[in-house]
Amino acid sequence: MSDARKVLVIIQPTKDKHIALERVLITSEITNPGSHVHLFIGVDGENTDLKASNPSLYQDGKWLANLLKPLEDAKVNHSFELCWSTDWQGAVLNSAKRFNPDHIFMPDYQDAKSSLFSGNQWSLLRNAVAPVTIVRPGNTGERKKILAAVNFQRLEDPAYSELNKKVLQGGMNIAKHYDAEFHVINAYKDSEHFPNREKILKDSDLPTQNVHVREVDPADVIAGFAKEIGADTVVIGTRSRQGASALLKGNTSERVLRKLTQDVISYN
């Protein structure tokens, strides 16, 4: 990780508790010289009651002052923008293009059982210019055990190979920075898709006991194993999709995300 960090934080203005900003203040090196936090404040209409009778749609100067106070108290270089666009995902991506962040933090206020990301959120994950940390309520933000989920049975596809590298390197960097325990898991559906365990060991430079290969539905095994080892953060890869396929939900990374309760870092 570089010393200076540029972090884009998505703020849902209808909420009183801003879990993505709280996580940034705990886990990012934002007090280092040259670091900067930029707040994108905008309502995702797909996840919000937009009726005029909804009192949470109305905020004032005191609300904004309270939002910025933790950054001011920590003496963090920061800025913010207010957005009225109905194209939430497009607006976030435009903000990221202007700001060019190293990392994006996005809150997910739903619990694991009911969490169904909006189309806007899925699209952001697939098209973001930087890794996206999905912050879950109730988590402490500790980084003691990191689990990276890879897909080494798809190495014939260059896109999967590159995504594996990003996920592994991202997980290793986080584990090294926080002196955390690092695990890698590769789930596969059947013997025809058995992964290359030796390559996982080589690329991750981990001992055998930290590399796990299991034959079962990936969505089930990754979430179950994360809970089994007490992982604080799960690192996954999300491939971008274009055209009609972009309208569909249900690929492996999305099903994994629905089942996880931990913070998730997504690479694309």
- The CATH number of the domain where 31 resides is what? 3.40.50.12370
Whether residue 128 is contained in a domain is answered as: yes
User: Considering 135, 163, 195, which residue would you say is the last residue of a domain?
Assistant: 135
Q: Do 107 and 178 belong to one domain?
A: no
pLDDT at site 25: 93
Claim to verify: residue 128 and residue 228 sit in the same structural domain: no
Q: Are residues 123 and 157 in the same domain?
A: no
Are 127 and 222 found together in one domain? no
Q: Residue 101, Cα to own-chain centre: how many angstroms?
A: 14
pLDDT 10s digits, 75-122: 999 999 999 999 998 999 999 999 999 999 999 887 544 455 667 777
209 and 151, same structural domain? yes
Whether residue 130 is found in the same domain as residue 149: no
What are the pLDDT digits (tens) for 111-160? 544 455 667 777 788 888 899 999 988 888 889 999 999 988 765 678 78
Q: Is there a single domain that holds both residue 21 and residue 128?
A: yes
Domain boundary among 135, 156, 191: 135
Q: In what order do the strands lie in the sheet with 78-82?
A: 78-82, 36-41, 6-11, 103-107, 132-135, 263-267, 233-237, 145-149, 181-188, 211-215
140: in domain: no
**Is the same domain home to 149 and 236?**
yes
| Least confident window among 138-147, 205-214, 248-257 | 248-257
Same domain, 123 and 153: no
Q: What's the CA gap between 241 and 246, in Å, rounded? A: 5
Structurally, the chain folds into a number of domains equal to: 2
Q: Is residue 149 part of a domain?
A: yes
Q: Where are the alpha helices (DSSP H) in the chain?
A: 19-27, 61-73, 88-99, 119-127, 158-177, 197-204, 218-229, 252-259
Looking at the structure, tell me whether residues 154 and 125 fall in a common domain: no
Determine, yes or no, domain membership for 161. yes
Considering the entire predicted model, what is its pTM? 0.89
Whether residue 211 sits in one domain with residue 154: yes
Residue finishing a domain among 81, 114, 135: 135
Its domain, for residue 69, covers 6-135
Residue with tokens 């435009």: 94
Q: 123 and 17: one domain? A: yes
Give me the residue label for tokens 């179950």: 224
